[in-house]
Chain A
Amino acid sequence: AQRVTQPEKLLSVFKGAPVELKCNYSYSGSPELFWYVQYSRQRLQLLLRHISRESIKGFTADLNKGETSFHLKKPFAQEEDSAMYYCALSGYQRSQGNLIFGKGTKLSVKP
C-alpha cells in the first residue's frame, strides 16, 4: 500500500538555523515524490518535485530509495519559511496517479 509518513507535527527553529523536514514513504514501485507548502491564508502550492532535482527558495530534497525517504532541507531558515509542509507521493500507473499526502509538518521559524 502507498503511504507517506511525516513523523513531526511541529518543527520549531530559530532564524538562520538549518531545517530538515522528514518524509518517509512506502511504495512497491518507483514513486514520484513532491513537497507542497501552505503559507498562512494561502492555497496549497507545489514547492518542489524529486524528478526536477531543483532548489526552490533555498530548499532541496533528495530521494533516497534505500531508506525510502525524501527529506526537505534548507541550510538557513528564514521567518517567511514558516508554513505547513506536506510530502506527497504518486505512482506511475494510471490507477495510482492520485497524490497521497502525509499528515503534514508545521514549520515555525522564530526571529
Chain B
Amino acid sequence: NAGVTQTPKFQVLKTGQSMTLQCAQDMNHEYMSWYRQDPGMGLRLIHYSVGAGITDQGEVPNGYNVSRSTTEDFPLRLLSAAPSQTSVYFCASSYSPGRGFSNTGELFFGEGSRLTVL
C-alpha cells in the first residue's frame, strides 16, 4: 500500500515548456486534489476532483490543467511554464468529500514535487 505517489520529485523547466506532474493513489479514494506550497503563502488549492470524470477549479487554477480518467490517477499539466509557477506541488486524496473530512477520513498527501521554472 503505497498511499499517494507523486512523480517526479524534482524538475527544472525553461519558460514556455510544458510538463505533467503525475499523481497516483492506491486507496480507492474518490477525492483528489493538487495544492501548491509557496513560502509565506501556505498551501493553495489548484484543482480538485470528486471522482473519475469530474474536475473543478480551486483557488489558483490559471496555467494548469487536470483530468481524471481513472479513480487512481490525477495528473497536473503545465501547458506553458512560467517562473511564477516555481513552487512545491502536493497531490492529496481522501474519501468522499461530500460532508467535509471528519466523516470520511483525513487528507493524505504525497511527498511533493519541487518545480523550478527558469
Contact = CB atoms under 8 A, between A and B. Distances in A.
B109 A98 contact: no
B75 interface: no
Considering residues A49, A97, A100, which has the most beta carbons from chain B within 10 angstroms of its beta carbon? A97
Considering residues B102, B110, B111, B112, which has the most beta carbons from chain A within 10 angstroms of its beta carbon? B102
Considering residues A9, A45, A49, A90, which has the most beta carbons from chain B within 10 angstroms of its beta carbon? A90
Interface residues on chain A, size class: 20 to 34
Interface stretch (B12-20, B65-73, B76-84, B93-101): B93-101
Contacts of A91: 100
A43 B25 CA distance: 15
A37 to B, nearest CB: 11
Nearest to B107: A99
B99 A34 contact: no
B60 interface: no
A98 B98 contact: no
B42 A32 contact: no
A49 to B, nearest CB: 6
A103 B40 contact: yes
Interface residues of B, number: 26
A70 to B, nearest CB: 13
Interface string A75-111: 0000000000010001110100111111110000000
Given A92-B99, A97-B100, A99-B101, A43 B112 contact: yes
B90 interface: yes
Nearest to A31: B100
B101 A43 contact: no
B112 A49 contact: no
A103 B107 contact: no
A32 B102 contact: yes
17 contacts: A32-B102, A43-B111, A46-B107, A52-B102, A90-B100, A92-B99, A94-B97, A94-B98, A94-B99, A97-B99, A97-B100, A98-B58, A101-B35, A101-B44, A102-B42, A103-B42, A104-B43
